[in-house]
Amino acid sequence: MYKVLIVEDDPMVAMINEQYIKRNKNFEVVGKCQDGAAALAFLKENQVHLLVLDVYMPHMDGFETLRKIRNEQIIVDVIMVTAANDRDSLEEALHLGIVDYLVKPFSFDRFQMALEKYISQSNALKDIDTLNQTNIDHIIDNTRKKSEDLFPKGIQEKTLQRIMKYLNSNKGKWFTGDDIAAEVGLTGVTVRRYMNYLAESGRVIGEMNYETGGRPCMRYKID
Q: Quick: pLDDT tens for 9-41.
A: 999 989 999 999 998 889 999 999 999 999 999
Model pLDDT, residue 217? 87
* Beta-strand pair 77-82/50-54: parallel
End-to-end CA distance of the chain: 25
Domains and CATH numbers, the chain: 2-148 (3.40.50.2300), 157-221 (1.10.10.10)
Model pLDDT, residue 151? 64
Model pLDDT, residue 177? 92
3-state SS class at 58: coil
Model pLDDT, residue 89? 81
User: Which residues have CB under 8 Å from 167's CB, separation 6+?
Assistant: 175, 180, 204, 220, 221, 222
- The residue-averaged pLDDT of 64-93 equals 88
Q: Which amino acid is at 61?
A: D
If phi > 0 it is left, if psi is from -120 to 50 it is alpha, else beta; for residue 9 that is alpha
CB 222 within 8 A of CB 204: yes
How many beta carbons lie within 10 A of that of residue 185, not counting itself?
7
Which sign does the torsion angle of CA 96, 100, 103, 108 carry? negative
The whole-chain average pLDDT of the chain stands at: 85
Q: Quick: pLDDT tens for 166-220.
A: 998 999 999 999 999 999 999 999 999 899 888 877 788 988 888 877 788 899 9
How many beta carbons lie within 10 A of that of residue 19, not counting itself?
12
Model pLDDT, residue 34? 93
